[in-house]
Chains A and B, each alone.
Chain A
Amino acid sequence: MSEHAGTSGRPGAGASTSSVAAGTARPLQDIWRIVGIWVALSIVGDLVFWFVAGPHVPPGDMTSSASGAQFDFNVLFMVALPVILAVWTYMGYAVIMWRASRPGAPEPIGGPRARSNLKVQLWWIVVTTVVVLSMFVFGTVELIVPAGAGGAEGPNPIWTPASKNVLPIQVIAQQWQFTYRYPTFGGMETSTLIVPDNTTIAFHVTSLDVIHSFWAYQLGVKIDANPGIDDVGYTTTNQLGKFTVRCNELCGIWHGAMYDYGKVVSKAQFQKWGTSTARATAANTKYLPPFAWTYSPTANGATGVTAANTSGQAPFSKIQTYGATTKAKKVVKNVQTSTTTITTGST
């Protein structure tokens, strides 16, 4: 009893004491069948997906980041599908061929042979590691090369677009609406997002109260709106059309109703719209807090004290002018006496 206990129970140690392969003359017959089915299914599945479903995968191709997301999703799916199919094929084969009630099913083999197989284990680890690492490399390239792929890059983006002519648009989230501020048009505010075609846009997303998330669905842009943070993300439009903006981070009871629709228009139209809207809203713009990268209700609204653009630089031209140095850091001194926590401010 005890001498047996000494040798067994050590998976991986029993390769040399393998017992005779039972049953068939071709012990790997099952495996080859599974591989055959798997390869066939994978090729068909991948081809069908790539050519039939792939071009329609959300979020479409309205912008560089949207088509990037679509491409990445499709590539990941091309890898994922064979993985899923491998397991399903194997399990399906096992369930059909190796069930106890199947007539003529051979008795399973126990012992060290069935406990471990160093070669199989090594191959499994190597293959999964290679797949995972290539996914990582692919994902990183696809993140860095397209300047953050439409995602949030924080206040000081490190991966910026090559284009020097970047249109900054500020997105101000509050419970429960988005307001868009165009520094290039004198800091005017609108409630709909209009963006020009064929333009690289920098979305500067901030919040007045709680955390929101700016999700311009068809543009392939998603940037969290944090209070007091200027969160930047980039995309380049390349198609005209309408798109949906939704809040993507739970922000209170009307979170579900926090959406609006925007439009990508031609550059000329955008210029025309901007100029006329700026003129039409000039009376309102005058009463707005000065344009700043972040707004605090106490600092900018309620008390009338501003955290304005203290650096004195115009925040609206080329990307370099509002890089890391012009953060609205110097703020008011009179907040520490306040015991309020959060109030909903107004811009």
Chain B
Amino acid sequence: MSQVRVPADSGYVATPEELAYEARAAENALFTASRLMIGCFAFAFAALAFAYFYLRSANSYDLWRPHSVTAPVGTGTAVMAFTAAATVLLLFGLRQLRRKDVLAFDVAGWVAVLSGLLALGLQCWELTDLPFAPATGGYTSVFIGWAVMNIIMLVSGIYWAETLLARRARLRKAITEEGGAVRGVPSGIFRLNVDSCVYFWGFIAFVAVFFWIFFYIAG
């Protein structure tokens, strides 16, 4: 990395009042941002849902779903289940974090990341092993679009959760190594970050269940 480390206090000193003000602004920003991020993803998935329902109702040349092709239900259900499990685990972790049970948070978090990775891996694997050609019809096209978007969303969610857990792990190490003098993140913002991440995972789980129903169950 080429960036150069410099002392950060370049030219201004913040008063305690300003620090508090900016800390609160940062918390608010995190809150707004996580909700807005869900909004961005929601519009993206709304486009997917529109494609699904539009092609289904248009059914051009009777090719929405010829021969009633279906993606592998078992794999799809597993992807959905692992996604939901990751969300539940993160939710549990957040609850434990609020109760200051940091160890439980760590364990639940890492298991959730693992679960998410399993969902991601299965979703990728499913793509390599589809029982239909992409151009078979509308359903198959939208299914592949969904798989790609699900991969993108899972990667975002896993990345967010993983970075939080990694930061947690590093901070604990730093605490022991540097005798507590750790620069960085106040607890409030960290907890809020976890909270937002879990909120986002709730959205992921909702989307996963929604499209699971329409691709595998009620298609």
Q: Which of A's residues lie within 8 Å of B, judged by CB? A: 228, 296, 299, 329-333, 335-339, 341
Contact = CB atoms under 8 A, between A and B. Distances in A.
Interface string B44-65: 0000000000000000111100
B62 A336 contact: no
A336 B137 contact: yes
A167 B163 CA distance: 69
Nearest to A333: B66
Given A336-B133, A338-B135, 17 more contacts: A228-B60, A299-B61, A329-B61, A329-B62, A330-B62, A332-B61, A333-B66, A335-B61, A335-B63, A336-B63, A336-B66, A336-B136, A336-B137, A337-B133, A339-B133, A339-B135, A341-B135
A308 to B, nearest CB: 14
A256 B137 CA distance: 33
Interface of B: 60-63, 66, 133, 135-137
Lowest 8 CB-CB distances: which A-B pairs, in order? A331-B61, A336-B136, A336-B66, A228-B60, A331-B62, A339-B135, A329-B62, A336-B137
Interface centre among B61, B133, B136 (most CB of A within 10 A): B61
25 contacts: A228-B60, A228-B61, A296-B61, A299-B61, A329-B61, A329-B62, A330-B62, A331-B61, A331-B62, A331-B63, A332-B61, A333-B66, A335-B61, A335-B63, A336-B63, A336-B66, A336-B133, A336-B135, A336-B136, A336-B137, A337-B133, A338-B135, A339-B133, A339-B135, A341-B135
A228 B133 CA distance: 22
Contacts of A336: 63, 66, 133, 135-137
A332 B66 CA distance: 11
A197 to B, nearest CB: 37
A341 to B, nearest CB: 8
Nearest to A338: B135
B63 to A, nearest CB: 7
B136 to A, nearest CB: 5
Contacts of B61: 228, 296, 299, 329, 331-332, 335
Contacts of B133: 336-337, 339
A184 B133 CA distance: 42
Contacts of A341: 135
Nearest to B137: A336
A335 B67 CA distance: 12
Contacts of B136: 336
A220 to B, nearest CB: 29
A299 B62 CA distance: 13
Contacts of B63: 331, 335-336
A310 to B, nearest CB: 12
Interface centre among B60, B133, B137 (most CB of A within 10 A): B60
A339 B134 CA distance: 9
A335 B62 CA distance: 11
Contacts of A296: 61
Contacts of B137: 336
A295 to B, nearest CB: 12
Contacts of B60: 228
Nearest to B136: A336
A330 B62 CA distance: 7
Contacts of B135: 336, 338-339, 341
A338 B145 CA distance: 20
B20 to A, nearest CB: 21
A338 B134 CA distance: 11
Nearest to A298: B61
A338 B62 CA distance: 16
A341 B63 CA distance: 15
Nearest to A330: B62
Contacts of B66: 333, 336
Nearest to A341: B135
Contacts of A337: 133
A329 B64 CA distance: 12
A331 B62 CA distance: 7
Contacts of A228: 60-61
Contacts of B62: 329-331
